[in-house]
Amino acid sequence: MKQVIQFTAAASLTLSAQAAWAETDITWWHGMGGHLGEVVGEIAKGFNESQDDYTITPVFKGSYEETLTAAIAAFRAGEQPNIVQVFDAGAATVIGAQGATIPVQDLLEQNGVDFDITDYIAGVRYFYAGSDGTMIGMPFNSSSPVLYYNRDALAKAGVEAPATYEEFAQIAPAIKEAGYTPLVQTHLPWEFVENFHSRHNLPFATNNNGYDGASDTKILINSPEMKMHFTQVKQWLDDGLFGFYGTSWDDNKAHFTDGDAAMYIGSSGDFGGLTALDLPFGWASTYLPHWASITDEGYQSFIGGAALFAMSGKSAEENAASAAFFQYLTSPEVQYMWHRETGYVPVTEAAYELAKSDGHYDRFPAAETGIKQLMLPAGDNTQGYRMGFYVQIRDVENRELSRFLNGDISVDEALANIEAEGNQLLERFAASMANN
């Protein structure tokens, strides 16, 4: 609490307080280090300087997982922050914790801030929403998986970037012949499992992909489409058309930035980092490929990254401060700054239009790919998923798919193991929610 006292000196040398007021302080826990953390600091500074009523203090709490763990522990101890950043795989945990958060849509409306969910980019609107469509978490560092490609490498091979995996299979031998590993990925669960289901409009779980409740939700990964996809990926790996270097994002991405791999599937949020590297070759991006044998046209992907959640148990004044901050954060100017400085997508249509009118995409066409992919046609299964303990399920996916790609088990065994262990975790999560 900051207090400012005005003093007036009287002839008698007595002091009398002429006025006193206080700013309301709130805290924002996040998991963004390095340059991203610096931009977070600039956003907080801008909000604090934009008005005199509230002060927000951002606090770096480590990785996404560490930030979520710290927030849960703090809530149980009654010491929670006002706002916490929660990543996509942890959303079900914080949303399912009864009374832990205030839906951001309710928070804004209760504090006189106009809210219209259609102001948000289509692929952003409902990932952090409830089954009734109420936005619970405010999308923040939102991204989409896209295909980056070395233009020089593809030109040397005499091919163009593929729109489908069938096209990739056709051009990959020429890329290999030109001296490159044709393709690498950076995150098996996000790119080859979760968004595979979205791009093909396939159900990823029962109960409306988990959005209708945790009870009896089952993961649907052991499907003919998944089996076909990973069987092909393994064949590409065996034929030298695909590179797999473990589950580390950076280890796989390095093969692209080092000039070894001609293409890599990564995050639209990688744009800023790639630009800063000043790579010695031309590069661009296009949509995450889909299988034409499953769907003629690929559907929209859903967002990765994280959202900001307003924690409950705070005073009305602090909740008003959080609402004011969210209003500031989603203004077109702030969203455009965040998009421009980081590569994450702007979450509102107005910010996207501002970026276009400023010529941002004329200067950096690759910065628009993820946004346009999020605005592709939607389907019944493009919203995303809502599965508890999904952090642990991702670990199982990484483990079993790695064993398969390394030749230790069959694709049938890998998918069956993921489904069995995943459903055990979902049952445990449902039981924990029932006991809340």
Within 13 Å of residue 196, how many CA atoms lie on the same side as its CB? 24
Residues 202 and 218 in one domain: yes
Indicate whether 3 pLDDT > 60: no
Indicate whether 11 pLDDT > 70: no
Indicate whether 15 pLDDT > 50: no
pLDDT over 90 percentage in the chain: 89
The token pair that represents 417 in the structure block: 């193991």
Domain stops at, among 342, 374, 406: 374
Residues 55 and 125 in one domain: yes
Radius of gyration of the chain from its Cα atoms, rounded to whole angstroms: 24
Indicate whether 221 pLDDT > 70: yes
Does a structural domain hold residue 431?
no
Does a structural domain hold residue 381?
no
Does a structural domain hold residue 425?
no
Does a structural domain hold residue 256?
yes
Residues 139 and 150 in one domain: no
Residues 137 and 221 in one domain: no
In whole angstroms, what is the distance from residue 378 CA to residue 198 CA? 9
Domain stops at, among 318, 351, 374: 374
Least confident piece of the model among 21-30, 102-111, 329-338, 351-360 = 21-30
The token pair that represents 252 in the structure block: 């796989």
In whole angstroms, what is the distance from residue 154 CA to residue 167 CA? 13
Residue 395 banded pLDDT, cuts 50, 70, 90: very high
> Would you say 281 and 152 are in contact if contact means Cβ atoms under 8 Å apart?
yes
Global pTM reads 0.91
pLDDT, one tens digit per residue, over 144-187 is 999 999 999 999 999 999 999 999 999 999 999 999 999 999 99
pLDDT, one tens digit per residue, over 321-335 is 999 999 999 999 999
Residues 273 and 317 in one domain: no
What's the mean pLDDT when you consider all of the chain?
93
Helix 34-50, helix 332-342: angle, nearest 10: 160
The token pair that represents 34 in the structure block: 């390095």
Residues 124 and 185 in one domain: no
Residues 296 and 320 in one domain: no
Q: What confidence score (pLDDT) does residue 436 get? A: 64
Indicate whether 40 pLDDT > 50: yes
Q: Domain containing 215: what range?
A: 146-301+389-416
Residues 165 and 133 in one domain: no
Does a structural domain hold residue 190?
yes
Does a structural domain hold residue 254?
yes
Residues 394 and 355 in one domain: no
Indicate whether 19 pLDDT > 50: no
Residues 84 and 166 in one domain: no
Does a structural domain hold residue 424?
no
Buried b (16+ CB within 10 A) or exposed e, 316-339: eebbbbbbbbbbbbbbbebbbbbb
Residues 102 and 187 in one domain: no
Residue 21 banded pLDDT, cuts 50, 70, 90: low
Residues 199 and 348 in one domain: no
Q: What confidence score (pLDDT) does residue 1 get? A: 39
Does a structural domain hold residue 428?
no
Give me the number of domains the chain comprises: 2
Neighbours of 280 (CB within 10 A): 8
Domain stops at, among 340, 374, 408: 374
Q: What confidence score (pLDDT) does residue 259 get? A: 98
Instruction: For residue 345, give the CATH number of its domain.
Output: 3.40.190.10
